[in-house]
């Protein structure tokens, strides 16, 4: 009979990680990742020798590390896909539910609404602060715009919270629109010296006059920039009657008109036009429109001053909405219209 001295199984990678390479059984000695298993017997008359290859410790540890990193990357991608497809799922669920509601009767819809409302009331008693994502906030804002009694139907958050979300969305949109497009360009020293020379040479020239003279030379500079460099050469003393003094002396006979731009829930512009008496701060006339034009503003001036009863002075800004028709109606009403860019309120 054949005699097998000893058959040693190749140790696993866990066994190799715990046992030093220099230790082991007599018939199983690791040598650079190769294990020799020797079997001898009398069946063939000669000893038989064969080798079995296995992974080294370093290769196995590197593969385990790569597997851990791969699983971590898969988890991050899964979370990213979940956050991207969450709004689509919410919209799809609401759309499917609305399509199903078209086939139901009114009594069934009322019963379902009562059932859902009762469940919301129970959840509100148990959950103090629900988690609301950004897409949920946007969807609640859109649904509140479509529902007239949204204050009564809102149970998850307070109505003031929903209004605050709308204000935050408004700020975010206009912050994105008004962000600077690039680095501001600095004026050349020669242009700055030219502006200061003009301001010092003629005291009666203002920033608008200097801006016009620079445009004749092909130099485009804003009025605010010119005012900034004029402060270094102009004295700060009073050079005449200011707007504050004029309004204080004629506040009873001075009206002011202006457009106030507002926005609705869908961020559509609304323009409110009003006339104010400076002496009493009384609004004598106002109206609202979505498309303000020169004829529309002229009609508002007619309605504000019926039978030629109006102020002596009318203050307005240099808006394009106050065109030729507005000036013609003001002249017909014997009004002296003063166009200003900035008014100091007293």
Stretch 330-343: mean pLDDT, rounded?
Answer: 65
How many residues are there in the chain?
A: 346
Of 343, 319, 322, nearest in space to 331 by CA: 322
What pLDDT sits at residue 91? 66
What pLDDT sits at residue 258? 93
Of 191, 192, 224, nearest in space to 206 by CA: 224
Least trusted range by pLDDT, from 84-93, 265-274, 329-338: 84-93
| pLDDT exceeds cutoff 50 at 4 | no
What pLDDT sits at residue 238? 59
Distance spanning both ends of the chain, measured CA to CA: 121
Instruction: Considering only residues 171 and 121, tell me which one the structure prediction assigns the higher pLDDT.
Output: 171
Q: Residue 257: count other Cβ atoms within 10 Å of its Cβ.
A: 23
Mean pLDDT of the chain: 75
| pLDDT exceeds cutoff 50 at 329 | yes
| pLDDT exceeds cutoff 80 at 339 | no
DSSP line for 123-166: HHHH-SS----HHHHHHHHHHHHH-TTHHHH--SS-HHHHHHHH
What pLDDT sits at residue 293? 93
Confidence of residue 340 (pLDDT cuts 50, 70, 90): low
| pLDDT exceeds cutoff 90 at 300 | yes
* Cβ proximity of 314 and 337 under 8 Å: yes
What pLDDT sits at residue 204? 81
Instruction: Considering only residues 342 and 242, tell me which one the structure prediction assigns the higher pLDDT.
Output: 242
- Whole-angstrom Cα distance, residue 302 to residue 323? 15
- Whole-angstrom Cα distance, residue 329 to residue 336? 11
Task: Give, in degrees to the nearest 5, the angle at Cα 236 between 233 and 241.
Answer: 125
Task: Give, in degrees to the nearest 5, the angle at Cα 295 between 292 and 299.
Answer: 95
| pLDDT, tens digit (0-9, with 9 covering 90-100), for 184-243 | 677 888 999 999 899 888 878 888 999 999 999 899 898 989 988 888 887 666 566 777
In Å, how far are 130, 145, 154, 317, 329 from 117, measured between CA atoms? 16, 20, 10, 53, 58
Map out the domains of the chain as residue ranges: 13-54, 104-177, 189-230, 243-339
What is the topology classification, in CATH, of domain 243-339? Nucleotidyltransferase; domain 5 (3.30.420)
Highest mean pLDDT among 47-51, 85-89, 149-153, 229-233: 229-233
| pLDDT, tens digit (0-9, with 9 covering 90-100), for 13-45 | 444 444 444 444 444 444 444 444 444 444 444
**DSSP reduced 3-state for 234:** coil
| pLDDT exceeds cutoff 90 at 296 | yes
**DSSP reduced 3-state for 185:** coil
In Å, how far are 117, 118, 263 from 121, measured between CA atoms? 6, 5, 34
Q: Residue 275: count other Cβ atoms within 10 Å of its Cβ.
A: 22
What pLDDT sits at residue 297? 93
């Amino acid at each position: 009979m054949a005699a097998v001295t000893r058959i040693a199984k190749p140790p696993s990678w866990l066994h190799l990680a715990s046992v030093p390479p220099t230790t082991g059984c007599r018939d199983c000695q690791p040598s650079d990742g190769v294990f020799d298993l020797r079997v001898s017997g009398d069946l063939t008359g000669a000893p038989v020798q064969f080798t079995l290859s296995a992974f080294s410790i370093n290769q196995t540890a590197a593969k385990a590390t790569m597997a851990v990193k791969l699983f971590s990357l898969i988890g991050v991608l899964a979370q990213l896909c979940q956050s991207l497809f969450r709004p689509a799922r919410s919209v799809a669920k609401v759309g499917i539910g609305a399509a199903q509601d078209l086939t139901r009767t009114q009594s069934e819809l009322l019963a379902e609404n009562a059932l859902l409302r009762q469940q919301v009331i129970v959840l509100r008693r148990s959950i103090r602060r629900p988690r609301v994502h950004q897409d949920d906030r946007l969807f609640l804002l859109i649904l509140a715009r479509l529902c007239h009694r949204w204050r009564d139907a809102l149970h998850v958050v307070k109505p003031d919270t929903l209004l605050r979300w709308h204000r935050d969305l408004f700020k975010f949109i206009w912050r994105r629109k008004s962000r600077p497009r690039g680095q501001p360009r600095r004026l050349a020293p020669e242009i700055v010296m030219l502006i200061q020379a003009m301001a010092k040479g003629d005291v009666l020239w203002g920033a608008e006059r200097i801006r016009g003279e620079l445009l004749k030379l092909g130099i485009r500079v804003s009025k605010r920039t010119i005012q900034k460099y004029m402060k270094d050469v102009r004295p700060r003393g009073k050079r005449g009657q200011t707007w504050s003094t004029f309004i204080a002396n004629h506040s009873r006979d001075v009206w002011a008109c202006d457009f106030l731009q507002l926005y609705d829930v869908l961020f559509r512009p609304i323009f409110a036009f009003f006339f104010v008496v400076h002496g009493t701060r009384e609004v004598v006339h106002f109206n609202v429109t979505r498309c303000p034009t020169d004829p529309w503003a002229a009609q508002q001036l007619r309605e504000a001053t019926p039978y030629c009863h109006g102020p002596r002075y009318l203050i307005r800004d240099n808006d394009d909405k106050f065109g030729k028709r507005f000036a013609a109606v003001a002249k017909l009403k014997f009004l002296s219209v003063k166009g200003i860019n900035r008014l100091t309120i007293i």
